[in-house]
Amino acid sequence: MILNLFFLLRTSSGAGYVTEADRAIFDRYVSEMSADKSLPTGELMVKTARFFLNTPYVAATLEKEPEGLVINLREMDCMTLVENVVALTRTLQSDSPSFDAFCKNLQALRYRNGEIHDYTDRLHYTTDWIFENQRKGWVKDVTREIGGVSLPVSVSFMSTHPNSYKPLKENPDFVAAIAAKEKEINARSYYYIPEADINKRAAGIKDGDVVCFVTTIKGLDISHVGVVCRVGDKLTFIHASTTSKKVIVNEVPLQEYVEGIKRNSGIMIVRSLAGH
């Protein structure tokens, strides 16, 4: 029996959180997927996402104090699923995939400059996550090149709702730091594919791409993420579903799904690049 009790994980940047169950899942992943490690990155992303089908949806798994790297392969929300898939894929593509290498990759994805000092170092906004990981050559935002149009982004939700975030509520200095980062995020250029154009642009969307759902909620940028896959001729995605309460292959095609969410206006497409 493997106990799901967190113990401290020591990383180069400080403490983290992990359980023996997470290590066991990582070992099983490497064992089951090692024969596929030479597949193209997109195919490996899909296979990795499928590895987690039926994993329970659980929100707020990263909210630990003090801030540290949380390794949780037992339960996920939409963003932690994507981060785990990207980090595991990169780890598997290395010469000798190890749990330590996975932890390092995950920390590099989740935190600005891969460093953890406090809550404000985490890449809370998805557009910022894309920007920082594209800058280090880990992903590429392909939205514009496959026909995306200009998207104004004006994030402010965290700094204007500090009481919704315990670390912000307890640390006013963090609010100022988040507000300053929001200004940086808003000054960048963005593109998206409007919901009505998704099927028209489908040829440019590849299996394994990360699909980011643009929201019209004031102060936010992206409301949901998943991993693109095709089932026969149907363009859809794998995601940690809040309605199904687990990781699923979405039954509804991508465009139909976006059109069915009132506060979605379209998508951004981000391509994970091969690890070394």
- CA 76 to CA 98: how far, in whole Å? 21
Query: Do 231 and 50 form a contact (C-beta atoms < 8 A)?
Result: no
At 6, is the pLDDT very low, low, confident or very high (cuts 50, 70, 90)? low
Q: How far is CA 176 from CA 68, 154, 162, in A?
A: 21, 16, 10
> Which domains are assigned to the chain?
7-121 (1.10.3670.10), 138-272 (2.30.260.10)
pLDDT of 15 higher than 70: no
Q: What angle do CA 105, 47, 31 make, to 5 degrees?
A: 70
Task: Specify the pLDDT at position 3.
Answer: 45
pLDDT of 252 higher than 60: yes
pLDDT of 48 higher than 90: yes
Task: Specify the pLDDT at position 274.
Answer: 86
At 172, is the pLDDT very low, low, confident or very high (cuts 50, 70, 90)? very high
Q: What is the pLDDT averaged over residues 103-129?
A: 97
Task: Specify the pLDDT at position 275.
Answer: 75
DSSP letter (8 states) at residue 199: G
Task: Specify the pLDDT at position 1.
Answer: 39
% of the chain with per-residue pLDDT over 90: 93
Q: What is the pLDDT averaged over residues 3-24?
A: 71
Q: Which residue has the higher pLDDT, 276 or 134?
A: 134
Task: Specify the pLDDT at position 30.
Answer: 98
pLDDT of 189 higher than 70: yes
Task: Specify the pLDDT at position 153.
Answer: 98
Q: What is the pLDDT averaged over residues 46-54?
A: 98
Going by C-alpha positions, the residue among 72, 39, 73 that lies closest to residue 208 is 39
What is the rounded average pLDDT for all residues in the chain? 95
- CA 219 to CA 192: how far, in whole Å? 17
Q: How far is CA 19 from CA 3, 16, 264, in A?
A: 7, 10, 36
Going by C-alpha positions, the residue among 146, 140, 174 that lies closest to residue 159 is 174
Q: What is the pLDDT averaged over residues 254-260?
A: 98
pLDDT of 266 higher than 90: yes
pLDDT of 14 higher than 60: no
pLDDT of 13 higher than 80: no
Q: What is the pLDDT averaged over residues 50-73?
A: 96
